[in-house]
Amino acid sequence: PGAPYASLPMSVQEGYKRNLTISLFKHLGGIDNAEDLVDEFIASPSKWHYRNKVEYSFSRDVYDVHTREQSVGFGLGYKHRGTFWLVENLERDSGLFDAELENNMPRIRKFLMATELPAYYNKFNSGFFRYLVCRKSLVDDRLLINLVTTSENLTRFDTGGFKQLMIDVLGDRLGGLMHTVNDDIGDTVSNPRNGSVSILYGSEVLRERVCGLDFQMSINSFFQTNPKSAENLYRKALDYVCLKAGAIPEGNVVMDLFCGTGTITQLLAKQYNDSEIIGVEIVADAIEDAKVNSEKNKLTNLQFYAEDVNRFLHNHPEYVGAIHTIVLDPPRAGIAPKALKRVIELGAQQIVYVSCNPATQVRDAQTLKENGYVMDRFSMVDQFPHTSHIETVALFVKENEVGSGDGDENLILLED
């Protein structure tokens, strides 16, 4: 689980992703010259152990990968592909996350089984152990662990023993240990409506560094899963910002829509400190993280808004005709038609569109094309080796702006 194409050579995997993406733009997007518009295919710097977050599941329904049979027991690991209730016990390093932690997973499972508290049973919403959520800082090589349980027989759980176990397993690499009680029905892991969160050890946040800026991450923060590859994605997006338009004139406005925790927003603010940078994101917690991080990075020329993108643009008509560049980084579903219409009405000189789902980007590219935005080029960034997923970043230029600027000599350099 998590690496279905691991048996294929990387050249085959990357060729498949490249060809499929080009085909999407040609046949669904109506961009006949899509192959000529490919700028780069950027491979992941790490092929294994690239993830900075995983959610291991507990289940009383266990799938044996060797016998291909399922049984009732105590499962802790990844969910069996195509199911929400079956779990494959993790016996050793999977190559996806942290080798030290995963090689100790049998030891962790043995300790938790000895409590005689049951693993969760999805079908009846019963049981105690639900998830083990883990986040890792690559810059500091530390981990944040969150054990998610129900309140069923909570007083029988030895939190002190569990804390000592995780200290023994990870030593100084354990940055923080949390216990979340979650009685919600369904697969919701974070922010339980019926429950509580307590810190058993250390801190509730980690630090990560991206392109020379530091970012604080909580266990639930939205952050790119493959930080080293994300740096390449961000560099490419910022390269596209200045590729055609050159240096953004002083006092111009750059808007980062669907900004998440504001990583691109802050990189733009650092690069264009004489411009106004605006980040908009509907998730309030993400915006709070963005504000904290921008203060830590001493960035002052930016503003964050916790608001739906469509509603924000409706409420701020003063930005129509006043935007130099828009960066879009929507969720997998792409941009809602009404929101995209308002984006187009802003009349920005160019749009840099970052996508985790080329199929919806292609759909939106058609709408942009119909409204005078020509796709100038695009790149593919492989953030998830051994899977079918690929991310893309595309530059769309307003037709009367095509051909302006000096080209590649405007590319910017970001710190490591």
- Chain mean position to CA 372: 30
Q: Which residues pair with 189 in a beta bridge?
A: none
Report DSSP state, residue 157: S
Spot the catalytic one: 211, 242, 259, 356. 356
As given in the structure block, the two tokens for residue 114 are 């000895």
What is the rounded distance in angstroms from the CA atom of residue 268 to the CA atom of residue 256?
9
As given in the structure block, the two tokens for residue 229 are 């590859």
Which residues are CB-neighbours of 175 under 8 A, at least 6 positions away? 137, 140, 142, 143, 144, 202, 203, 206
Contact 353, 394 (CB under 8 A): yes
Q: Which residues pair with 381 in a beta bridge?
A: 42, 391
Which residues are CB-neighbours of 80 under 8 A, at least 6 positions away? 1, 63, 86, 87, 88
Residue type, 56: Y
Instruction: Specify the 3-state DSSP secondary structure of 278.
Output: strand
Report the relative pairing of strands 195-202 and 174-182 from DSSP bridges: antiparallel
Helices 358-370 and 337-345: crossing angle in degrees, nearest 10, is 50
Report the relative pairing of strands 53-64 and 213-218 from DSSP bridges: unpaired
- Chain mean position to CA 296: 21
Cα torsion for 164, 165, 171, 174, to the nearest 10°?
-90
Q: Is 356 among the residues known to form the active site?
A: yes
Q: Which of 138, 124, 149 is nearest to 58 (CA)?
A: 149
Instruction: Specify the 3-state DSSP secondary structure of 223.
Output: coil
As given in the structure block, the two tokens for residue 86 are 């079956």
As given in the structure block, the two tokens for residue 203 are 């801190």
Report DSSP state, residue 390: -
Residue keyed to tokens 């669907």: 258
Render the burial of 294-326: b for 16+ CB within 10 Å, e for the rest.
beebebeebebbbbebbebbeebeebeeebbbb
Residues known to be catalytic: 356
